[in-house]
A and B are shown apart, each in its own frame.
Chain A
């Protein structure tokens, strides 16, 4: 990670922020495909299946289509914040502040 105490390079900071933006949007897309893709079948078909299918006492689709992606999304968030997101030197405040 960069030295947070050095002078800010606004251009480099902007480009790095843009890279991080694309990775975050990618993570959102993958999560969406999983949650909505899986549940479009599992949750929307659950009512016609007869007795409710369960896992850990919860409807099965909520565990596979919600809880599991939540755990993985949290793991990804931790990796992203600790490994991928770069520290940047903070801008000085203007004189009138």
Chain B
């Protein structure tokens, strides 16, 4: 098939499948090339750090691509769509993230890692402080919190694929087969078959190329993925702005929107002997109010049996559109396909903050269903301003990259590149998905899918459905580039900090075998854990990254910049930081009955955890045995050792 034939003949679904297949082929070619690079080099140093010779483009792209994870392209759009412009404040710390998150420790970390010959963060802490206990505690915390982060990415990857391939005939047949096979299996059968299939394909692909090519494959694919992400955002922005027509008018429509209401209704139809099924997402129009036009959207499929004229207790989302919102009204009415079904006995509940309140989507604190103080009270905004730069600085996956750049000019130029790259990603994403509220209303029912749905919608409306494949590849690339890095990080910690410590004489062949199987094992575990995932992706991501930040921020900063830090203080700092984070989530779970953080004085647990970690470290360091003077001299110089 020629390119022209492909473009003309393909539907969005087939094009998506072909784009996806091409993308995967390139990924595996890169992994193969990376695998060939491993010959003749120290296996562990090459496999986990790419022989520490990353240049500017490689370092900058791998950093940016790993950072812009499934959270940025799935969870973040979902939050923008649900809460509006307040997300600019939520992500306010990103204004300065590249400088602080990279610059804070990168130079010292790279120097100390080189001097100590460390490949992983636990190894660096162990060697800097001369304590095996420090290394062991760091490994346990890293694997624990990083695993949560990994889980969220697996869910994101599978979700994107379900949307990407939803219309493909081969895929639908495969889903039916999987459903038939898995339905009787307890627990596994509870998951939706399409999600299950995509999770399996995603997990197998990403684990295979990561295990095969190691760090260099991850970096090379990150570069490609970084380009796709940047291109994807730029194209999406162009399409969204073109279709919304006038950004000012879209913002005005947004300012008149009020949050939807959740509840149930009774659906009625005229007597009919024919059975009828209404799919999830079907819209129905209700009688107009004085200033608003209410609609309901089904949040689950509904079936009328033959002769049945009413179905009660149907889950619905009520969307009340301002009569002045022409674009939004047009978008909803264009999707109404059922005119012979009526809804009665509507029983709905509005958001605790923002119900029937125009303006909430263009102001702070933003609407929220479960909180009377809104989505982002000012104290929480302050927390997140601290969270992103500092939790970012303390992510071991980024630290691994900071150990791998080849020289300081590479670092300096990379910080500039990442700053510009992030500026071109995050602010446009907010514009795109606030426009999404006007162009594609009612997706609060499955907000995690709004990114791929927007890509499909915008490209279809623009008459270029084949482009959906590339656009949806952007979040997919984001997820893959994070998953491969996290897989490598976890397997690196297990192999270098656990296996090699216990088997110091293990041959290179043995190390290779253990490394490959550990990567496969970690991936398989993550896949099993995500068969029935929690609803909100972002909660898992914030817990995972917050936990890593809380455990490692102060210990790593002080290990690099404070000669008087002691091993006991480091262990105490890691445990108290990570423990405080876990404790706040446990309290949140007990109070709210779901996986969420307890926010004491409206501050994010990360702030409390870092404070506790810092105070505990200072206190313990004063009363514990100082670190060996030779180690201090080695890492801080003679003058600073005194």
- Listed in ascending order, the chain A residues whose CB lies under 8 Å from chain B are 4, 8-15, 17-18, 20-21, 24-25, 27-28, 31-32, 35-36, 39-40, 43-49, 51-52, 54, 56-59, 61-62, 65-67, 69-70, 73-74, 76-78, 80-82, 85-88, 90-94, 96-97
Q: Tell me if A's interface is mostly helix, strand, loop or mixed.
A: helix
A56 to B419, CA, bound (A): 23
B248 touches A73 (CB 8 A): no
A57 touches B247 (CB 8 A): yes
**Size bracket of the B interface:** 35 or more
B251 touches A10 (CB 8 A): no
B416 touches A88 (CB 8 A): no
Q: Say yes or no for B635: interface residue by CB 8 A criterion.
A: yes
Chosen A-B contacts, 10 in total, with CB atoms closer than 8 Å, are: A17-B560, A28-B96, A51-B252, A57-B247, A58-B247, A62-B85, A88-B408, A91-B111, A94-B116, A97-B117
A32 touches B636 (CB 8 A): no
| B202-210, B381-389, B575-583, B623-631: which lies at the interface | B381-389
| B86-94, B438-446, B564-572: which lies at the interface | B86-94
Q: Which of A40, A52, A69, A88 contacts B378 (CB 8 A)?
A: A40
B389 touches A28 (CB 8 A): yes
Q: Say yes or no for B431: interface residue by CB 8 A criterion.
A: yes
A24: chain B residues within 8 A (beta carbon):
99-100, 103-104
A7 to B106, CA, bound (A): 20
A74 touches B420 (CB 8 A): yes
| B181-189, B343-351, B357-365, B505-513: which lies at the interface | B357-365
B45: chain A residues within 8 A (beta carbon):
97
With CB as the reference atom, state the residue of chain B lying closest to A75.
B419
Q: Say yes or no for B107: interface residue by CB 8 A criterion.
A: yes
A55 to B498, CA, bound (A): 56
A36 to B419, CA, bound (A): 20
Q: A4-B408, A11-B640 are in contact. Are A31 and B95 (CB under 8 A)?
A: yes
Q: Say yes or no for B589: interface residue by CB 8 A criterion.
A: no
Q: A15-B640, A31-B95, A46-B364 are in contact. Are A82 and B117 (CB under 8 A)?
A: no
Q: Which of B252, B407, B413 contacts A52 (CB 8 A)?
A: B252
Q: Say yes or no for B463: interface residue by CB 8 A criterion.
A: no
Q: Which of B108, B117, B385 contacts A17 (CB 8 A)?
A: B108
Distance from B38 Cβ to chain A, minimum over Cβ atoms (Å): 15
Distance from A34 Cβ to chain B, minimum over Cβ atoms (Å): 9
Distance from B411 Cβ to chain A, minimum over Cβ atoms (Å): 8
A76: chain B residues within 8 A (beta carbon):
99
Q: A11-B638, A12-B637, A52-B359 are in contact. Are A93 and B413 (CB under 8 A)?
A: no
A66 to B409, CA, bound (A): 29
Q: Say yes or no for B406: interface residue by CB 8 A criterion.
A: yes
B637 touches A11 (CB 8 A): yes
B104: chain A residues within 8 A (beta carbon):
21, 24-25
A62 to B88, CA, bound (A): 7
A61: chain B residues within 8 A (beta carbon):
363
**Residue among A58, A80, A93 with most chain B CB within 10 A:** A58
**Residue among A4, A45, A62, A93 with most chain B CB within 10 A:** A62
Distance from A87 Cβ to chain B, minimum over Cβ atoms (Å): 4
**Residue among B99, B359, B413, B634 with most chain A CB within 10 A:** B99
B378 touches A44 (CB 8 A): yes
B96 touches A11 (CB 8 A): no
Q: Give B406-440 as 1s and 0s: 1 = Cβ < 8 Å from A's Cβ atoms.
A: 11110111011001100100010011000000000
Residues of chain B in range 122-162 having any CB-CB distance to chain A below 8 Å = none
Distance from B90 Cβ to chain A, minimum over Cβ atoms (Å): 11
A45: chain B residues within 8 A (beta carbon):
363
A52 touches B255 (CB 8 A): yes
A82 to B247, CA, bound (A): 36
Q: Say yes or no for B246: interface residue by CB 8 A criterion.
A: yes
With CB as the reference atom, state the residue of chain A lying closest to B360.
A47
A66 touches B95 (CB 8 A): yes
Q: A14-B108, A70-B423, A87-B409 are in contact. Are A20 and B251 (CB under 8 A)?
A: no
B251 touches A59 (CB 8 A): yes
B636 touches A11 (CB 8 A): yes
Q: A4-B408, A4-B409, A90-B114 are in contact. Are A27 and B96 (CB under 8 A)?
A: yes
A10 touches B115 (CB 8 A): yes
Q: Say yes or no for B639: interface residue by CB 8 A criterion.
A: yes
Distance from B368 Cβ to chain A, minimum over Cβ atoms (Å): 13
B88 touches A66 (CB 8 A): yes
A59 touches B117 (CB 8 A): no
A92 to B162, CA, bound (A): 48
A68 to B420, CA, bound (A): 14
